[in-house]
Amino acid sequence: MATRKTQSVRISELEDRIEELEDHQGQTSYGHDQAHDETGDAVHVCSLPILPKREFDAGVSPDREHAILSTGDKWVNGTNIHYFLYSDGLFSGAADERDVVRQAFQVWKDVGIGLTFTEVSDIQDAELRIGFLRNNGSWSYIGTVALRIGQTERTMNFGWDITQTGPNGLDTAIHEIGHALGLKHEHQNPNAGIVWNRQAVYDHFARTQNPPWDEEKTDNNILNTLDSSTVDGSDWDPNSIMHYSFGAGLIVQPAQFRDGLNPAPGLSGKDNDVVQRFYPPLSGTTVLPQLKPFQSERLALMIGEQKNLVVIPEHSRDYTFSTFGRSDTVMVLFEDIDGDPVYVQGDDDSGFDRNARFTVRLIKGRKYKLRIRLYYNWSEGDTVVMMW
Ligand SMILES: [Zn+2]
């Protein structure tokens, strides 16, 4: 059993982690005045920021750690994600570039998922902040990592003109938004079993990318295989929007891709399946169970699954919400305003020996939805949630 940490130790650890992330972000070189983009029709590829690996307490088992890492960066289904597109200053994009990003959000929405996307004009209201700084690469933080980035910092960037046709255009925007939804690179799926000509890959990306990639960047985005527990256990999908295209001479095995691999444009069938697995559509007509004061509700969830409950307070007062039982969960309360989910309060207990819990003032007559996603559950007994 790990030593129980005090709240202040935990907060200070979280602060350290956020500082680390911000330091790292600060190292990004802004190549705004650099040479023109001379790669012509070369295929640009996304280059993800390299983040420090999350550290867990010694008492957290590898199983539990893997479960948290594999689902812990997904949004709670039903979240309304607000995005901001820079339209002036260093990070600004032209009107037609911003339109491509809006189209890309619509492509994901059209799959039929439980997330909604709303563009906002005030950066302070945005979970995703999207810039268009040329020669700075195209990248995005993965899923809810964006919540830990400074509120005036970008969480996504497009480093080349995405209004062009082909894979450097709309598909680039769909790919980066895929990262923002918590999806990772498909060519790094351990089930892919790709054998690389490593030196050829290093040479290729040092030569073709602007700015040129060093070996660490190539490892991070291509050669490193993702931990088998951080992908969703899916078979390799070479047509995924999350897969790069590769020219001849980079892949040794499977032999059929020695002359190159070019994923089909747009979302693949498996992309649709994966995103719907984490964010199934939420029907407005489904009657959700109601959570009432002092009545516990069993979660009975599999890892990665989510429970949705309605809360209709009978009084205007402070209410406390808490999970009970040994599990890792994220619990988020939304107010339902004309069908739009508005974030009220949330807590994530993953990796800690405590339960998700918060106290918040609710108003009589309003309607709220409590959404709980299970990351890990290692006891025989079940987890319950209660309000009082
Ligand atoms: Zn990518």
Angle (CA) 312-317-323 rounded to 5° is 65
Q: What are phi and psi of 21, to 5 degrees?
A: -60, -45
35: confidence class by pLDDT, cuts 50, 70, 90: very low
- Does residue 270 sit in the same domain as residue 128? yes
Distance separating alpha carbons of residues 43 and 160, to the nearest angstrom = 11
Most confident segment among 86-100, 285-299, 332-346: 86-100
72: pLDDT strictly greater than 50:
yes
- Does residue 359 sit in the same domain as residue 306? yes
Number of Cβ atoms within 10 Å of the Cβ of 221: 22
- Does residue 15 sit in the same domain as residue 104? yes
Distance separating alpha carbons of residues 143 and 109, to the nearest angstrom = 16
| CATH number of domain containing 217 | 3.40.390.10
Could you tell me if residue 292 is inside a domain? no
In the chain, the N- to C-terminal Cα span, in Å, equals: 29
Could you tell me if residue 61 is inside a domain? yes
- Does residue 105 sit in the same domain as residue 55? yes
* Residue 259: domain span: 7-278
Tokens 């980066």, residue located? 176
Distance separating alpha carbons of residues 259 and 16, to the nearest angstrom = 46
Could you tell me if residue 286 is inside a domain? no
Look up the pTM and report it. 0.79
Residue 112 Cα, ligand 1 centroid: separation in angstroms?
A: 22
Could you tell me if residue 283 is inside a domain? no
In single-letter form, the type of residue at position 76 comes to V
- Does residue 118 sit in the same domain as residue 195? yes
Domain end among 245, 278, 311: 278
Residue 249 Cα, ligand 1 centroid: separation in angstroms?
A: 21
Residue 176 Cα, ligand 1 centroid: separation in angstroms?
A: 6
Could you tell me if residue 287 is inside a domain? no
Lowest mean pLDDT among 35-44, 142-151, 180-189: 35-44
- Does residue 103 sit in the same domain as residue 144? yes
In single-letter form, the type of residue at position 342 comes to V
Q: Find the farthest-apart pair of alpha carbons in the chain and give their distance in angstroms, rounded.
A: 68
pLDDT attached to residue 232: 61
- Does residue 69 sit in the same domain as residue 177? yes
For residues 308-330, average pLDDT: 92
Tokens 């106290």, residue located? 359
32: pLDDT strictly greater than 70:
no
- Does residue 214 sit in the same domain as residue 344? no
DSSP one-letter code for 133: -
Q: Are 156 and 123 contacting, i.e. CB atoms less than 8 angstroms apart?
A: no
Residue 174 Cα, ligand 1 centroid: separation in angstroms?
A: 10
pLDDT attached to residue 43: 67
Distance separating alpha carbons of residues 197 and 195, to the nearest angstrom = 7
Residue 48 Cα, ligand 1 centroid: separation in angstroms?
A: 6
Residue 139 Cα, ligand 1 centroid: separation in angstroms?
A: 6
- Does residue 273 sit in the same domain as residue 355? no
Residue 242 Cα, ligand 1 centroid: separation in angstroms?
A: 6
| CATH number of domain containing 369 | 2.60.120.680
- Does residue 168 sit in the same domain as residue 211? yes
pLDDT attached to residue 228: 65
- Does residue 196 sit in the same domain as residue 327? no
**Span 132-150, pLDDT tens digits:** 999 888 999 999 999 889 9
Q: Per the structure, how many domains does the chain have?
A: 2
- Does residue 265 sit in the same domain as residue 308? no
Could you tell me if residue 35 is inside a domain? yes
